[in-house]
Amino acid sequence: MEFEGIPFEVIRRRVKYSRVEFKHSGEGLRVIVPRSVNPMKVLEENRKSILKKYHKLKRQIETAEKMPINDWTDDEFNAVISLYIKRYSRQLKVTITGIKFRKMRRRWGSCRSDGIVTFNLCLQLVPEHLIAYIVFHELAHLVVRGHNKKFKALIASEFPNYRQLDKELNLYGLKLLS
């Protein structure tokens, strides 16, 4: 099915409120509705915001496709990760108990409270300044859990341009993560 030329799927769930969300790849919509609600009515009621967001997402995907990809070897990538882990664990006074790498669909990294940090293998394809940012971000979670004001202040102390870095990572996410 399509709405204004945008493919969509309907998901009926036991939810109280309807919602419309874009698939991560930007290739369509999900309309999540209670069983008794007409999905076309939900789409019509949200037409303006859906179209605005859809066109913005399409522009972002076009921009993302033009972004450069790194071609580091595994050894080079591991050396870069190790460099930033050493630097930032000293700076933040945190202890890392393990480092893992795996393919992730939506995240660049994660950090457990026991000091195990996991990084997305796709990080090997992004520029070094974004790797540094992700390493700092994940290690900062050993100091402050969550993404509250204190956490953002800690991030800003090392990366005052963190909002721009987040935007750049989002573009790489559109290109590399799925």
128-149: pLDDT as tens digits: 999 999 999 999 999 999 999 9
Looking at the DSSP bridge assignments, the partners of residue 32 are 11, 19
Q: What is the pLDDT of residue 178?
A: 64
Q: How far apart are CA 138 and CA 100, in angstroms?
A: 12
Distances (CA, A) of 152 to 14, 108, 131, 143: 35, 17, 18, 12
pTM: 0.84
**Domains of the chain, residue spans:** 2-65, 74-176
Which DSSP letter does residue 105 get?
S
Inter-residue contact 139 to 111 (CB < 8 Å): yes
Inter-residue contact 88 to 136 (CB < 8 Å): yes
Inter-residue contact 103 to 123 (CB < 8 Å): no
Length of the chain: 178
The parts of the chain modelled with pLDDT lower than 70 are 24-26, 178
Give domain 74-176's CATH number out of 1.10.3720.10, 3.40.50.1820, 3.40.50.300, 3.30.2010.10: 3.30.2010.10
* Alpha-carbon Rg for the chain in angstroms: 19
Nearest-5° Cα angle at 166, 165 to 169: 85
Q: What is the pLDDT of residue 105?
A: 87
Q: What is the pLDDT of residue 37?
A: 94
Please name the residues in contact with 117: beta carbons below 8 A apart, sequence gap of 6 or more.
85, 96, 98, 99, 100, 109, 110, 111, 138, 139
